[in-house]
Amino acid sequence: MIAAMRGFAVLATCLVLALGQAKAEDFVLGSHLPLTGSLAQVGNGMHEGIQVAVDLFNRENQGHQVKLNTIDDESSPAKAVAAVERLASERVVALSGGYGSNIIGPASEAAAKAKLVYITSGGVGPELSQRGLEYFFRINNTEGYSKAVTGLIDDMGVKKVSIVYNNKEATTDLARTVEKTLSDAGIKVSSLAFDGGHADFKPLINKVKLQDHPDLILMSGYENDYIGILRAGNVLKPDIKAIVGVWSLATSEMNNKFNDLVQYVYGTSMLPYPAEFATPEAKLFAETYEKLYGKAPDYLGQFGYVQTRLLLQAVLRAENDGTLGKGGLADELRKTDEETLIGRVKFDKNGDNPEFAQRMGQHQGNKVVLVWPAKAATGKMVFPATPWSK
């Protein structure tokens, strides 16, 4: 009898442990990102935000635990598709991630074939949300960046703008959208594309200086492009009133690492630096991020966090409603209407977020001051000013 009771106790303990184990990993969230290769920097930055969202979700929802399964797509579209197919075969609940429009395009189509919800902030090209994919969601887009850049330029009252842009898809899309908006507003615009990477930008900036004579140079590129262009500007000293960039520029990292080089340069930024996190959620995000990675969160982390948080909230709602296993996640995500770290998120029928609007920051000393729009401004813009005129 005692032996039977002991056996029952062991069996019961095993069952409890097994159930506990199943409960602890209720959902597996899939992610593919470029953790190596040419996009490794941005891929890792976004992955940090996704991980923070998963950690916070697990802390807040003891009943439902999420495990993150990330596959490195090595900055390759083919490997991203293979990663999505593998994650689908491993029955992940949904996908959060992807960087680069040329990678997100085929990867999200593979996700759609597997009827998996795919949410991203790594590709802003307009065509991504025009494919009629029922399972595709995106929290940011070219329009949101364009509105901020053109709004700032409009406020400056300049007459001639030179756009220099990396010939990759997202940067080209943005340059063309801004060019059209500025031209429609009566501003004279000239555009020059360049190959991304580590080129010598002096011949390009010299061409702008000698032929275009602009009031303002707009750079649509990435970190290493900005550094190259600003260094070329510092040598050639074109007589302009301002120099403006887009993503990856008005960041704490650029302010810390290249402080002299970026003085008075503008870039898109949701938060000033040092960051001022106002809401309890934002404070919790920043604390968790700093605890996990030992640094202040940047814009990539914020986007990765927001998209994943919204996705996990929808997963939880669908699970509680009993629709998760019946394809209800996409419908649940489409109901999202929330104020987040990157502003309001509300998806349209294409899964895009028409509410997305960026802000503009300017490097001023050891700070990034938000200068546009006026309602979000944390300081006044210093205009006219460039790094070489300071």
Min separation Cβ 208 and other proteins, Å: 10
Q: Which stretch binds other proteins (CB under 8 A): 21-29, 143-151, 256-264, 300-308?
A: 256-264
Contacts of 77 (CB under 8 A, 6+ apart): 102, 103, 105, 106, 107
Give me 70's structure tokens: 């990330």
| One of 258, 266, 285, 372 touching other proteins (CB under 8 A) | 258
Tell whether residue 207 is a contact of other proteins (CB under 8 A). yes
Tell whether residue 210 is a contact of other proteins (CB under 8 A). yes
Q: Which stretch binds other proteins (CB under 8 A): 78-86, 133-141, 143-151, 226-234?
A: 226-234
Q: Tell me the backbone φ, ψ of residue 94, rounded to 5 degrees.
A: -170, 180
HSE-up (13 A, CA, CB side) for residue 332 = 22
Kindly tell me which of 228 and 351 has the beta carbon lying closer to other proteins: 228
Tell whether residue 377 is a contact of other proteins (CB under 8 A). no
Min separation Cβ 47 and other proteins, Å: 11
Min separation Cβ 193 and other proteins, Å: 5
Give me 169's structure tokens: 């898809």
Give me 54's structure tokens: 């998963």
Kindly tell me which of 44 and 150 has the beta carbon lying closer to other proteins: 44
Tell whether residue 38 is a contact of other proteins (CB under 8 A). yes
Distance from C-alpha of 93 to C-alpha of 28, rounded to nearest angstrom: 6
**Residue in the block written with tokens 């993150």:** 68
Please give the size of the binding site for other proteins, defined by CB under 8 A.
40
336 close to 347: Cβ distance less than 8 angstroms? yes
247 close to 267: Cβ distance less than 8 angstroms? yes
CB atoms within 10 A of CB 88: 17
Tell whether residue 223 is a contact of other proteins (CB under 8 A). yes
| One of 7, 157, 197, 325 touching other proteins (CB under 8 A) | 197
Min separation Cβ 210 and other proteins, Å: 5
Q: Tell me the backbone φ, ψ of residue 27, rounded to 5 degrees.
A: -125, 145
Q: Which stretch binds other proteins (CB under 8 A): 21-29, 141-149, 228-236, 274-282?
A: 228-236
174 close to 158: Cβ distance less than 8 angstroms? no
Tell whether residue 292 is a contact of other proteins (CB under 8 A). no
Tell whether residue 228 is a contact of other proteins (CB under 8 A). yes
Min separation Cβ 108 and other proteins, Å: 23
- Of 79-108, binders to other proteins (CB under 8 A) are none
Q: Which stretch binds other proteins (CB under 8 A): 90-98, 128-136, 199-207, 278-286?
A: 199-207
The three-class DSSP label of residue 32 is strand
Distance from C-alpha of 174 to C-alpha of 191, rounded to nearest angstrom: 12
Min separation Cβ 9 and other proteins, Å: 47
28 close to 93: Cβ distance less than 8 angstroms? yes
53 close to 304: Cβ distance less than 8 angstroms? yes
Tell whether residue 7 is a contact of other proteins (CB under 8 A). no
**77-89 and 101-113 helices cross at what angle (nearest 10)?**
30
Tell whether residue 366 is a contact of other proteins (CB under 8 A). no
In the complex, the residues that contact other proteins under the rule CB under 8 A are 35-38, 40-41, 43-44, 75, 164, 167, 192-195, 197-200, 202-204, 206-207, 210-211, 223-224, 227-228, 231, 234-237, 253, 257-258, 260-261
